C-alpha cells in the first residue's frame, strides 16, 4: 500500500472517538504484515525502529470528531479527485498517521543513530485517554513530535484549556413580589459582563486569553424570580498563565461561586534552543517556530521537549469536506524522516562535544 492508498484506507474506516476498535485492528494487521513489531494497549498501537539512544516519540491520533453538517458527500467515504482526498479525518489527523508510517518505512532502510517510537492513540479529541494509557508503556522519552495538521509549521507552544463552572444563587419568589426574592440570573449577568471584559497578560506568541461563557442554564418558570443560574466558562490559556492562580483570580472578581471543572489541559511550551525544535525547523526549512491555538495530547507530554507539526491545515479540521492533498502527505512523510535524522545528528554531535 503506497502513501495515498494508506491514507485512503485509514479514512475509509470510521473511528469517531470511542469507536476506534475496527481501525486499530486493521491498521495493526497492516503494520504487522510489513514486519513492524506492533505493540498494543486497548486500541492504542505503537512500534519502534532503531535501538540506540536518544529515544524520539512520534505520536498522532486514530480518532476523529463526529461528522458535522454540511458535507457535500458521505463523510466516511473517501473521495479522491486528482491530488486531493476528501473524507472525515483526512486532515485531522489521519494524514499525519499515514505520513508517520511512510517515514517509518523510509527510516528503517538505513542505520539509525537513535530510536523512534511511532504511537497512534485513541480519544485525543475527547479526553486524551489514549496517550495517558500508552505513555507509561513507552519507557523514557527524550523528545516528542505531535502529529497534527500545522501546514508543516513548527509549533513550540500551544494553548491549554481551563473550564470553570460558575453558579449564581439567589432567592426564588413570585415575579409579582420580586422585592421578596433575589434574581440569580441578574447576578449571573453581572458576573458574565465582568468576564466578558476580562483580559489576562498576553503571551508573546499566542497573544491574549479571553474567557468565553459557553453554556448557561437558569430559571424554572416564566413567572418566578429564579433562585439559581449556572454557566460554564472556557478559557484557552497560554504558558504564562497558571490554571490554579487564574481560577482564583476569577473567583475573587465574581459575585457567584466558581469551581474548576477541568484544568488538566495545561498549556505547553518548548524552548527554542532545544534540539527537537532546531531539528524540526531544519527539516521543514523554516526560520522560526510558531504558536498553536488548539490543545492536543501534548498536554500529557508537557515534561518532554516537544514540537507539534504535520501535513494539512488546522483550519480544515472539525469542518465539512475536510481534505488533504497527496503532495502534502508526501511532504509530511519526508519531513518526519528528515526530522528524526536531524534530531539524532544534533543530539549525538552535542553529546560528543561535552
Residue (148 or 322) nearer to Zn ion, CB: 148
Q: Which are the contacts of 282, defined by CB distance < 8 A and separation ≥ 6?
A: 338, 342
HEC string of 236-249? Answer: CCCCCCCHHHHHHH
Q: What is the DSSP string of 11-73?
A: HHS--BTT--HHHHHHHHHHHHHTT---EEETTEEEEEE--SSSEEEEEEE--BPPP-TT-SS
- Considering only the stretches 83-91, 144-152, 153-161, 229-237, report the one whose residues sit in contact with Zn ion under the rule CB under 5 A: 144-152
Per-residue cell: 20? 476506534
Closest approach, Cβ 101 to Zn ion, in A, equals: 16
Residue (148 or 334) nearer to Zn ion, CB: 148
- Considering only the stretches 146-154, 247-255, 306-314, 327-335, report the one whose residues sit in contact with Zn ion under the rule CB under 5 A: 146-154
Per-residue cell: 104? 517509518
Per-residue cell: 34? 510489513
Residue (59 or 93) nearer to Zn ion, CB: 93
Q: Is 274 near Zn ion (CB under 5 A)?
A: no
Do the bridges between strand 224-225 and strand 84-86 make them parallel or antiparallel, or are there none, so unpaired? Answer: unpaired
Question: Are 184 and 228 within 8 A, CB to CB?
Answer: yes
> Helices (H) and strands (E) in the chain — how many of each?
8, 18
Residue (148 or 328) nearer to Zn ion, CB: 148
Closest approach, Cβ 123 to Zn ion, in A, equals: 11
Kindly write out the interface string for residues 82-121 of this chain, putting x where it contacts Zn ion by CB under 5 A and - elsewhere.
----------xx----------------------------
Kindly write out the interface string for residues 148-187 of this chain, putting x where it contacts Zn ion by CB under 5 A and - elsewhere.
x---------------------------------------
Give dist(CA 100, CA 139) in Å, integer: 20
Measured in residues, the chain has a length of 354
Residue (43 or 148) nearer to Zn ion, CB: 148
Closest approach, Cβ 60 to Zn ion, in A, equals: 8
Question: Are 144 and 119 within 8 A, CB to CB?
Answer: no
Residue (92 or 274) nearer to Zn ion, CB: 92
Q: Is 328 near Zn ion (CB under 5 A)?
A: no
Q: Which residues bind Zn ion (CB under 5 A)?
A: 92-93, 148
Amino acid at each position: 500500500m503506497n502513501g495515498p492508498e494508506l491514507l485512503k484506507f485509514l479514512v475509509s474506516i470510521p473511528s469517531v472517538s470511542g469507536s476506534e476498535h475496527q481501525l486499530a485492528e486493521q491498521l495493526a494487521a497492516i503494520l504487522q504484515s510489513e514486519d513492524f513489531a506492533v505493540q498494543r494497549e486497548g486500541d492504542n498501537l505503537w512500534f519502534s525502529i532503531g535501538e540506540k539512544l536518544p529515544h524520539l516519540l512520534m505520536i498522532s491520533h486514530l480518532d476523529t470528531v463526529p461528522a458535522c453538517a454540511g458535507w457535500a458527500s458521505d463523510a466516511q467515504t473517501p473521495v479522491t479527485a486528482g491530488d486531493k482526498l476528501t473524507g472525515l479525518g483526512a486532515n485531522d489527523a489521519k494524514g499525519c498517521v499515514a505520513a508517520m508510517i511512510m517515514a517509518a518505512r523510509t527510516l528503517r532502510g538505513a542505520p539509525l543513530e537513535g530510536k523512534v517510537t511511532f504511537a497512534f492513540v485513541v480519544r485525543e479529541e475527547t479526553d486524551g485517554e489514549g496517550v495517558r494509557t500508552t505513555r507509561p508503556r513507552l519507557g523514557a522519552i527524550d523528545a516528542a513530535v505531535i502529529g497534527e495538521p500545522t501546514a508543516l509549521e513548527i509549533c513550540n507552544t500551544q494553548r491549554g484549556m481551563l473550564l470553570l463552572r460558575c453558579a449564581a444563587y439567589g432567592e426564588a419568589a413570585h415575579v409579582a413580589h420580586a422585592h421578596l426574592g433575589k434574581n440569580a440570573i441578574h447576578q449571573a449577568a453581572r458576573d458574565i459582563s465582568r468576564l466578558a471584559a476580562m483580559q489576562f497578560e498576553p503571551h508573546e506568541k499566542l497573544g491574549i486569553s479571553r474567557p468565553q461563557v459557553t453554556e448557561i442554564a437558569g430559571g424554572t418558570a416564566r413567572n418566578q424570580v429564579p433562585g439559581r443560574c449556572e454557566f460554564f466558562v472556557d478559557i484557552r490559556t497560554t504558558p504564562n498563565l497558571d490554571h490554579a492562580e487564574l481560577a482564583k483570580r476569577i473567583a475573587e472578581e465574581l459575585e457567584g461561586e466558581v469551581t474548576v471543572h477541568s484544568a488538566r489541559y495545561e498549556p505547553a511550551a518548548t524552548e527554542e534552543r532545544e534540539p527537537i525544535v532546531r531539528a524540526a525547523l531544519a527539516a521543514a526549512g523554516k526560520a522560526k517556530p510558531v504558536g498553536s491555538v488548539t490543545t492536543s495530547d501534548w498536554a500529557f507530554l508537557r515534561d518532554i521537549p516537544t514540537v507539534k507539526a504535520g501535513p494539512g491545515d488546522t483550519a480544515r479540521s472539525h469542518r465539512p469536506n475536510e481534505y488533504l492533498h497527496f503532495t502534502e502527505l508526501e511532504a509530511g512523510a519526508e519531513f518526519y524522516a528528515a526530522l528524526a535524522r536531524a534530531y539524532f545528528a544534533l543530539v549525538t554531535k552535542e553529546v560528543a562535544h561535552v
